[in-house]
Amino acid sequence: MILEVKDVYKYFTVERGLLKQKSGQVKALEGVSFCVDEFCTLGIAGESGSGKTTLAKIILKLIPATAGEIVFNPQLIKKFRKDVQIVFQNPYASLDPKMRIIDMIIEPLSVHRIVSRQSLRRRARELLQLVGLDEQALERYPMEFSGGQRQRICIARALASEPKFLVLDEPISSLDLTVQAKMLDLFLELKRKLGLTYIFISHNLAVIRHLADKVIVMQSGRIVEEGSVSEIFRHPRQEYTRLLIAAAKS
């Protein structure tokens, strides 16, 4: 096991007026618990507002939980900021338009001292090749690339620190269908080549079915169903899960 999420709650305080008086709480997560095994892909499914992204932010230590615990296996995740990375939904907002691609990729290489200074460009070139881009991309800027190419650059940057665990938060939803299929194949290939563990977040169960080994279905901040991909698709227990599956087929 590489990750255990233990009974996590997250409440957001609602403030109103100029004095920002507390007027209530939004319960974003309520008692969420699950485990992720090394080298596996856990798919997290649910409609907007189900708590998926809030959960991802807590796992990544971007926001604190109100209660509960996130436990990474210390034998596998030794340096959190190096070993755990994320690929966000929107590749257009994820890349600094003023930075060259080479500068974006060598930054984590330098920070985490992955390679020597003399080897930075070579390693940046290798990372781009790994995600299907050539060396010419290194000197260019994000505006010169399509959405699919930008997401490949985001993946290359995430892989630069040589992580063991990747959170993929709706990483293909902003791309067209043809590019989505290519990106899913890329994620599968990278997992096989690099021995990665994924959490893959999506509202689309058809996408999760293609990539994941295990699925949890979230609704209103709770896990309402959990199981292997085959179990969830063959014998969904909850009406909500059946609706998500039907939507994925339409």
Read off φ and ψ for residue 175, nearest 5 degrees: -105, 160
Percentage above 90 pLDDT, the chain: 82
User: Residue 25's pLDDT is what?
Assistant: 85
Six token digits for residue 149: 């190419």
pLDDT of residue 250: 66
Tell me the domain boundaries of the chain. 3-77+164-249, 95-162
Question: Are residues 131 and 82 in contact, defined by beta-carbon separation less than 8 angstroms?
Answer: no
Using the Cα atoms of residue 207, residue 175, residue 29 and residue 62 in order, give the sign of their dihedral. positive
**Average pLDDT of the segment spanning 144-173:** 94
Mean pLDDT of 181-206: 94
| SS3 call for 97 | coil
Summarize the confidence of residues 66-89 as an average pLDDT.
Answer: 95
**Nearest of 100, 160, 149, 171 to residue 127 by alpha carbon:** 160
In whole angstroms, what is the distance from residue 102 CA to residue 141 CA? 9
Give 84's strand partners. 165
| pLDDT for 124 | 96
Burial string for 147-170 (b: 16+ CB within 10 Å, else e) reads ebbbbbbbbbbbbbbbbbbbbbbb
Backbone angles phi, psi at 24, to 5 degrees: 155, -175
Least confident of 14-23, 107-116, 198-207: 14-23
* More confident site: 14 or 49: 49
Interval 147-158: pLDDT, tens = 999 999 999 999
| CATH number of the structural domain 3-77+164-249 | 3.40.50.300
